[in-house]
Amino acid sequence: MICNSYDIFFKTLADPSKLEILNLLTKQSLSVTQLCKKLNFEQSRVSHNLRILTERGFVEVTKKGKQRIYSVEQKTVLPLLGLIDVHVEKYYKHYCKCKGIPWRKRT
């Protein structure tokens, strides 16, 4: 029997909004305002998802004055996302309907 934690972990990664936020944060650390602009999401949507991503250890937050700056957790999550990219590139590339987005390494 697989622990319920696995279910929560994979459901977090399966959520499109959270995945888009993670994808941007693999490129650079950003504030809520910056994420909202880049994703064209409402502030409440971004904040809600960041709270969950932070609680579940996918994202780290640092304070810079009055701003909170978010980044992907470096020790385990960033390398894990890189491994997922390698796996997806090998086995799921044919499912992608996107054009013009080059393959990139996160790590």
For 28-78, the pLDDT digits (tens) are 999 999 999 999 999 999 999 999 999 999 999 999 999 999 999 999 999
Q: Which domains does the chain have, with CATH numbers?
A: 4-73 (1.10.10.10)
As a whole-number percent, the residues of the chain with pLDDT over 70 amount to 89
Q: What is the pTM of this model?
A: 0.86
Q: Are 59 and 73 in contact (CB under 8 A)?
A: yes
